[in-house]
Amino acid sequence: MFADLNQKVAVITGGSKGIGNAIALRFAQEKMNVVINYHSDEAGAQKAVDEIRQNGGDAVAVQADVSTEAGVKALLEAAVSNFGGLDVWVNNAGMEIQTPTHQISLEEWNKVISINMTGVFLGAKEALNYWLDNNKTGNIINMSSVHQQIPWPTFSSYATAKGGVKLFTETIAMEYAPKNIRANNIAPGAINTPINAKKFADPKQYAETQSMIPMQRIGDPEDVADAAVWLASDQAKYVTGTTLFVDGGMTLYAAFQDGKG
Residues within the interface to ligand NAD (CB under 6 A): 13-14, 16-20, 37, 39, 41, 65-67, 92-95, 115, 143, 145, 188, 190-191, 193-196
Q: How far is the CB of 211 from ligand NAD (least distance, A)?
A: 15
Active site residue 158: yes
Beta bridge partners of 61: 36
Residue with Cβ nearer ligand NAD (61 or 104) = 61
Query: Which three-class secondary structure string do you get for 179-247?
Result: HCEEEEEEEECCECCHHHHHHHHCHHHHHHHHCCCCCCCCECHHHHHHHHHHHHCHHHCCCCCCEEEEC
CA separation, residue 136 to residues 74, 218, 236 (Å): 20, 38, 17
Q: How far is the CB of 2 from ligand NAD (least distance, A)?
A: 22
Q: Are 14 and 188 in contact (CB under 8 A)?
A: no
In the chain, DSSP assigns E strands to 9-12, 33-38, 58-63, 88-91, 138-143, 181-188, 243-246
Phi-psi region of 154 (alpha: psi -120 to 50; beta: other; left: phi over 0): left
Q: How far is the CB of 29 from ligand NAD (least distance, A)?
A: 18
Residue with Cβ nearer ligand NAD (13 or 157) = 13
Q: Kind of pairing, strands 88-91 and 9-12?
A: parallel
- Non-local (6+) Cβ contacts of 256 within 8 A are none
Residue with Cβ nearer ligand NAD (94 or 138) = 94
Residue with Cβ nearer ligand NAD (30 or 65) = 65
Q: How far is the CB of 167 from ligand NAD (least distance, A)?
A: 16
Q: How far is the CB of 212 from ligand NAD (least distance, A)?
A: 12
Q: Are 186 and 141 in contact (CB under 8 A)?
A: yes
Set 38, 130, 158, 238: catalytic member: 158
Residue with Cβ nearer ligand NAD (9 or 11) = 11
Known catalytic residues are: 158
